[in-house]
Amino acid sequence: MEPHHANKPRPKLSATKHSKFISCKLYISESRNATAVDAVERASKSDPQVVVVSQFGDHHYNRFRYTLVSYIVVDDGGGGSSAAGEATVVVHSPIRKVLLAMMEAAFSSIDLESQSGAHPRMGVVDDLSFHPVGQATVEDAASLARQVASDIACIAAVPVFLYAAAHPAGKSVGAVRRELGYYRPNYRGNQWSGSVLPDVLPVKPDVGPAHVVSHKRGATTVGVTPWIENYNVPVLCKDVATVRRITRGVTGRSGGLPTVQALALFHGDDCTEIACLLDPDHASAYQVQTV
């Protein structure tokens, strides 16, 4: 599938001054509204020190993914590295301001109550997944992720749920989402439409209000993991239930490939897609194809 908007050349980041970089995958619940997509894309270009490595929109899912990279500056107390037991603190990264601008554009131009698609979601800004790059550590990424989570709660008053290395106990994103009913479609048996969260949340968020302030905005998840790859396998079959049985042979939670997360999702009148998240250190696209 081709991106809704083609990737455009961006300035390259210089590694001469910085050795620590962070990548963030930002998932926005809208790809059909050109005005909203354009607003978010303009915000992504607000600082040349932040590179949009890729962007991908899916019409059936009504979802857009942006992958951004920039450097970080860490407070190491002047010693070159954090002391044992001392928390890592990211004191500056251009990516934080750009993400904030992109999310503000999304919140101001997208109404979740009128949005629908074939991919689960619970918020206009549905998810931010941070990944350390270069000499950056998971702790560096977690510091930045928590700062961005606070930004989201501040600018939009939405509940934010942390996961993986951003969460104090390392709770997985799957566990968070299952508790919130994220994977249960509420429209036509295989789609998600409007707000999917109750006014009173079944789980207390890690940041932000304990209830849904605005069903137009929903809620957000923010996490930190090693680098993951998105890999989708189209299956020319209308029977979602059948493809779900195939999917159980792929996903690690059901005894399939280690660390692989996978969903069977409606993707047009004659296609169901197995949408996978892969940790390339533990599973490959080839392994998914040959299960």
Which of 5, 60, 92, 119 is an active site residue?
119
| Same domain as 210, residue 257 | no
- 93 falls within a domain: yes
| Same domain as 201, residue 105 | yes
- 3 falls within a domain: no
Residues 6+ apart with CB under 8 A from 290: none
| Same domain as 245, residue 220 | no
**Residue pLDDT, tens place only, 1-22:** 434 444 443 445 555 578 899 9
Tell which of 206, 224, 242 closes a domain. 224
The pTM of the full predicted model, rounded to 2 decimals, is 0.91
**pLDDT at residue number 12:** 55
Distance separating alpha carbons of residues 85 and 83, to the nearest angstrom: 6
> What average pLDDT does the segment 27-44 reach?
98
Supply the range of the domain harboring residue 265.
229-289
Mean residue pLDDT across the chain: 91
**pLDDT at residue number 22:** 98
Written as one letter, the residue type at 235 is V
- Rounded to 10 degrees, the C-alpha dihedral 128/132/137/141 comes to -20
**pLDDT at residue number 78:** 55
Q: Is residue 211 helix, strand or coil?
A: strand
- Check if 92 is active-site: no
**pLDDT over 60 at 281, yes or no:** yes
**pLDDT at residue number 9:** 39
pLDDT band at 88 (very low <50, low <70, confident <90, very high): confident
Q: 3-state DSSP: the chain helix, strand, coil percent, rounded to 5?
A: 25, 30, 45
Tell which of 177, 199, 224 closes a domain. 224
**pLDDT at residue number 92:** 96
**Residue pLDDT, tens place only, 65-79:** 999 999 999 987 655
Give the CB-side neighbour count of residue 154, counting CA atoms within 13 A. 7
> What average pLDDT does the segment 246-273 reach?
92
